[in-house]
């Protein structure tokens, strides 16, 4: 695998074209509802859950991270509308995530629409950039709506020109790439007549901690030594919310609260529990992500010249 050398790898064949089509339809139906959240859909959509736990994908993640103990920190849908000028500026996933060590975190990007090539705005990776550690990021004070990153962040051109030329990896639906949280990557606009849709899955080893202290976050157990404990502690999230924080500790692993997984044949009660977990998890994650970005942005602000 080129992951350790370059900071990214792929494409990997994960699911079939038909399975990707079914997952895309599931996502589109979910996001068509007013107020729907594009984050952590693995908690509420069976096909997205199955992709997140797919043996082929998990094996590639284990190989990349060098660990058999894997957790899923978060997931999100990346969608660019047809004939869109929107783009993702060069950035590192580690910048505002707060996860440490970030070298033990990896993003799997799974194409759901077909194809996801250069015309559709596929991902571009900068080889070896993951070896440079955390790079300064600027925050666009002009509120450029075309940059789809949550804070409008980007790496300044003076730094980008020192990196090796980027490599694009076109994908067919059902294929995936892996990239390190420290790998610089970007993607261009979608010039095709169809939406470009991908599923980003953020995996980590059991050694990763959330360094931001605004809120205790939640994660999904994927595989490894924490099997029995994780399943025992993936209790009903509503029950956990009703307990004082100190008492909740007996229901938690060391660093994250455990998210409940949809069973093979989910009932309405299972879906309800998943939606409550999704809501709670994103409230916590958003608090950490957005509450501290001003402090980080101030640290990097000098690089905006």
Q: For the segment 188-226, what is each residue's pLDDT rounded down to a tens digit? A: 999 999 999 999 999 999 999 999 888 899 999 999 875
pLDDT at 293: 56
Question: Using CA atoms, how far apart are residues 161 and 183, in angstroms rounded to an integer?
Answer: 15
CB 129 within 8 A of CB 184: yes
pLDDT at 159: 95
Handedness of CA 245, 249, 253, 254 (dihedral sign): positive
pLDDT at 246: 38
Lookup: tokens for 85: 């000028």
Question: Using CA atoms, how far apart are residues 71 and 208, in angstroms rounded to an integer?
Answer: 9
pLDDT at 231: 56
In angstroms, how far is the first alpha carbon of the chain from the final one?
A: 38
Question: Mind listing the pLDDT tens digit of every residue in the chain (305 residues)?
Answer: 799 999 999 999 999 999 999 999 999 999 998 888 999 999 999 999 999 999 999 999 999 999 999 999 999 999 999 999 888 889 999 998 999 999 999 999 999 999 999 999 999 999 999 999 999 998 876 666 787 677 778 889 999 999 999 999 999 999 999 999 999 999 999 999 999 999 999 999 999 999 988 889 999 999 987 555 555 555 444 454 443 333 343 333 568 999 999 999 999 999 999 999 999 999 999 888 777 555 444 333 332 22
pLDDT at 134: 95
pLDDT at 295: 47
CB 171 within 8 A of CB 11: yes
pTM over 0.85: yes
CB 116 within 8 A of CB 122: yes
Question: Using CA atoms, how far apart are residues 14 and 219, in angstroms rounded to an integer?
Answer: 22
DSSP one-letter string for the chain: --HHHHSEEEEEE-S-HHHHHHHHHHHHHHHTSTT---B-GGGT-HHHHHHHT-HHHHHHHHHHHT-S-EEEEEEEEEEE-TTB--BEEEE-THHHH-EESGGGEEEEEEE-SS-BSTTTT-EEE-TTGGGG-SPP-EE-TT--TTB-STT-EE--HHHHTTSPPPEE--B-TTEEEEEETTS-EEE--B-SSS-EEEEEEEEEETT-EE---SS--EEEEEESTTHHHHHHH---HHHHHTS-HHHHGGG--SSSEEPPPPPSS--HHHHHHHHHHHHHHHHHHHHHHHHSHHHHHHHHGGGG-
Alpha carbon 292 to its chain's center: 19
* Phi/psi of residue 172, nearest 5 degrees: -95, 160
């Amino acid at each position: 695998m080129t992951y350790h050398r370059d900071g990214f790898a792929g494409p990997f064949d994960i699911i079939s074209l038909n399975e990707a089509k079914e997952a895309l339809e599931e996502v589109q139906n979910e996001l068509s509802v007013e107020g729907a959240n594009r984050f952590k859909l693995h908690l509420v959509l069976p096909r997205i859950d199955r992709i997140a736990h797919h043996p082929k994908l998990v094996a590639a993640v284990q190989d990349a991270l060098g660990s058999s103990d894997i957790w899923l920190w978060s997931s999100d849908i990346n969608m660019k509308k047809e004939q869109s000028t929107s783009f993702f500026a060069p950035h590192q996933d580690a910048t505002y995530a707060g996860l440490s060590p970030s070298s033990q975190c990896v993003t799997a990007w799974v194409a759901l629409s077909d194809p996801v090539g250069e015309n559709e705005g596929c991902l571009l990776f900068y080889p070896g950039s993951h070896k440079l550690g955390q790079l300064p990021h600027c925050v666009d004070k002009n509120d450029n709506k075309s940059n789809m990153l949550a804070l409008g962040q980007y790496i300044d051109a003076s730094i980008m020109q020192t990196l090796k030329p980027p490599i694009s990896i076109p994908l067919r639906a059902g294929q995936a790439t892996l990239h390190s949280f420290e790998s610089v990557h970007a993607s261009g606009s979608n010039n095709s007549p169809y939406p470009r849709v991908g599923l980003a899955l953020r995996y980590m080893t059991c050694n990763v901690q959330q360094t931001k202290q605004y809120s205790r976050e939640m994660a999904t157990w994927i595989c490894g030594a924490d099997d029995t404990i994780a399943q025992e502690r993936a209790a009903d999230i509503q029950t956990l919310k009703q307990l004082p924080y100190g008492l909740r500790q007996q229901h938690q692993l060391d660093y994250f609260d455990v998210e409940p997984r949809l069973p093979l044949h989910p009932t309405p009660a299972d879906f309800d529990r998943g939606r409550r977990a999704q809501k709670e998890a994103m409230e916590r994650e958003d608090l950490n992500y957005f509450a501290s970005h001003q402090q980080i942005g101030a640290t990097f602000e000098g690089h905006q010249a």
